[in-house]
């Protein structure tokens, strides 16, 4: 038993060392990726449920590494742990807003842009000023920018400082949307107090529309409740026509998912903006 314990310890050590080295390597590569402009944004449409008309886009980052697209779940976590999410996040806001400006100039003036924001960005002193400057530089109506913050971040990190940041964003008419709603444990009472304008219902609830009987599905209840609180509702990860029908019935404001479109690069998203995607 003693032998085995020792061997396990060695294996554990090697594994740990490997993990640490991998992380350090990704961290190094991320630094270079910023420097050499290796990030790209793809955009996924948020569409009106009954018409499929494009109401807005969500910017989703990808890393172009050795001719492959690395998905965000492979690097956002490390970018957050190392603080690199701040310069990366700045790039995302700047790039997404410049693209939105281009689309407004093409005639899509009602289009909104949603950008994912990490806790660390909200904790930065200059965050609001930075965002306002990007809006000004592009001559954009601030009401067309929506910042997506996850339920977990809003609840775990909410302190006086972040609360103040959220308030100044709202004062400037920037919209805040609560991402991945339903994954955390926030009470409705709590949601009521947050300065948010949109609730994004997590894909897991949308998946349930298929599997659970109507009476057991709470997505409809969430939509109704959100509307009562004066919030807009976006359904995430809509893949099936039946899910769309259900969401139309409950008057959900927008749906986002493969049923309408996958996230697409700039040139391709431009081609579908004047189409009805459902
Ligand atoms: P999220 O904000 O919840 O974004 C939705 C994710 O669901 C995206 O994955 C999208 O491609 C995927 N998705 C959309 N429709 C469907 C569908 O119908 N079926 C399925 N199976 N998936 C669908 P993606 O692009 O891989 O992004 C993953 C996560 O990475 C995002 O989740 C977000 O938390 C984070 N992320 C992406 N871009 C950024 C960014 O610029 N900054 C930060 N901080 N996080 C980002
Ligand atoms: Ca999001
Ligand atoms: Ca989400
Ligand atoms: Ca998510």
Q: Report pLDDT digits (tens) over 149-165.
A: 998 888 888 889 999 99
72: Cβ below 6 Å to ligand 1?
A: yes
Residue of the CA atom closest to atom 42 of ligand 1: 116
Ligand 4 centroid from CA 202, angstroms: 7
Ligand 1 center–CA 255 separation, angstroms: 14
Cα 90 to ligand 3 centroid, rounded to whole Å:
20
Ligand 3 centroid distance, CA of 202 (Å): 6
Mutate to test the pocket of ligand 1, among 76, 235, 239, 240 (most ligand atoms within 8 A of CB): 76
Judge whether 244 and 255 are in contact, CB under 8 Å: yes
Q: What is the mean pLDDT of residues 102-114?
A: 98
- 148 versus 3: the higher-pLDDT residue is 148
3-state SS, residue 70: strand
Ligand 3 center to 9 CA (angstroms): 39
pLDDT tens digits for range 220-269 = 999 999 999 999 999 999 999 999 999 999 999 999 999 999 999 999 99
CA 202 to ligand 1: nearest atom: 3
Q: Which residues pair with 114 in a beta bridge?
A: 58, 146
Residue 45 Cβ < 6 Å to ligand 1: no
CA distance 227 to 253: 10
The answer to whether the CB of 74 is under 6 A from ligand 1 is no
Q: How far apart are CA 185 and CA 272, in angstroms?
A: 37
Does the pLDDT of residue 2 top 60, yes or no?
no
Contact assessment for residue 57 and residue 44, using Cβ atoms and an 8 Å cutoff: yes
Instruction: Please state the atom number of ligand 1 nearest to the C-alpha of residue 121.
Output: 44
Token pair for residue 208? 């349930």
**pLDDT tens readout for residues 66-97:** 899 999 999 999 999 999 999 999 999 999 99
How many Cα atoms occupy the beta-carbon half-sphere of 142 within 13 Å? 18
């Amino acid at each position: 038993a003693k032998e085995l314990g020792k061997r396990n310890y060695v294996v554990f050590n090697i594994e740990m060392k490997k993990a640490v080295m991998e992380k350090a390597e990704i961290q190094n590569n991320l630094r270079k990726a910023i420097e050499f402009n290796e990030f790209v944004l793809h955009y996924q449409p948020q569409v009106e449920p009954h018409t499929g008309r494009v109401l807005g886009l969500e910017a989703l980052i990808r890393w172009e590494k050795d001719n492959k697209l690395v998905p965000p779940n492979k690097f956002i976590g490390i970018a957050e742990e190392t603080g690199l999410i701040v310069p990366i996040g700045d790039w995302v806001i700047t790039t997404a807003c410049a693209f939105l400006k281009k689309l407004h100039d093409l005639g899509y003036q009602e289009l909104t842009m949603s950008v994912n924001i990490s806790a660390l960005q909200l904790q930065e002193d200059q965050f609001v000023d930075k965002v306002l400057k990007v809006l000004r530089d592009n001559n954009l109506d601030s009401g067309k920018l929506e910042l997506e913050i996850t339920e977990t971040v809003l609840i775990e990190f909410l302190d006086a400082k972040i609360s103040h940041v959220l308030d100044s964003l709202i004062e400037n008419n920037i919209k805040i949307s609560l991402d991945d709603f339903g994954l955390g444990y926030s009470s409705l009472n709590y949601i009521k107090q947050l300065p948010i304008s949109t609730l994004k219902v997590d894909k897991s609830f949308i998946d349930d529309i298929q599997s659970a009987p109507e009476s057991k599905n709470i997505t409809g209840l969430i939509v109704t409740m959100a509307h009562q609180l004066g919030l807009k509702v976006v359904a995430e990860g809509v893949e099936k026509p039946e899910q769309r029908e259900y969401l139309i019935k409950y008057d959900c404001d927008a749906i986002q998912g493969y049923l309408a479109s996958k996230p697409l690069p700039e040139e391709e998203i431009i081609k579908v903006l004047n189409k009805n995607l459902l």
